[in-house]
Amino acid sequence: MLLCAILYLPGLTTIPPIDRDEAYFAQSTRQMLETGDFVRPRFQNNDRYRKPIGIYWLQAAAVAALGQRDFRTIWAYRIPSVVGATLAVLTTYSIGKALFDSQTALLAGAILASSTLLMVQALLAKTDAMLLACIVAAQWPLSVVYLRHETERAPARYAALFWTAQGLGILIKGPVAPLVSLLTVAALAAMHWFDATSPPRAVLRNLLRNLRLPWGIPLAIIIVAPWTIAIGISTNWSFFGQAGYQSAVASSNERRNGFTGDVGLRYAW
What was the pLDDT predicted at 8?
95
Of 159, 223, 140, 147, give the one whose Cα is nearest residue 188.
147
Count other C-beta atoms under 10 Å from residue 262's C-beta.
Answer: 17
pLDDT at 93: 96
Rounded Cα–Cα distance for residues 168 and 62 (Å): 17
Per-residue pLDDT of the chain (269 residues; tens, 9 = 90+): 999 999 999 989 888 888 889 999 999 999 999 999 999 998 888 888 888 999 999 999 999 998 876 778 899 999 999 999 999 999 999 999 989 999 999 999 999 999 999 999 999 999 999 999 999 999 999 998 888 766 678 899 999 999 999 999 999 999 999 999 999 998 888 888 777 666 667 778 888 889 999 999 999 999 999 999 999 898 887 777 776 656 655 555 555 554 444 544 454 44
Write down the pLDDT at residue 1. Answer: 93
Give the DSSP H or E segment for 46.
strand 46-47
Coil, helix or strand at residue 195: coil
CB under 8 A, 24+ apart: contacts of 17-21:
17/74, 17/125, 17/265, 17/266, 17/269, 18/124, 18/266, 19/124, 19/126, 20/254, 20/261, 20/262, 20/265, 20/266, 21/124, 21/126
Rounded Cα gap, residues 126 and 133, in angstroms: 13
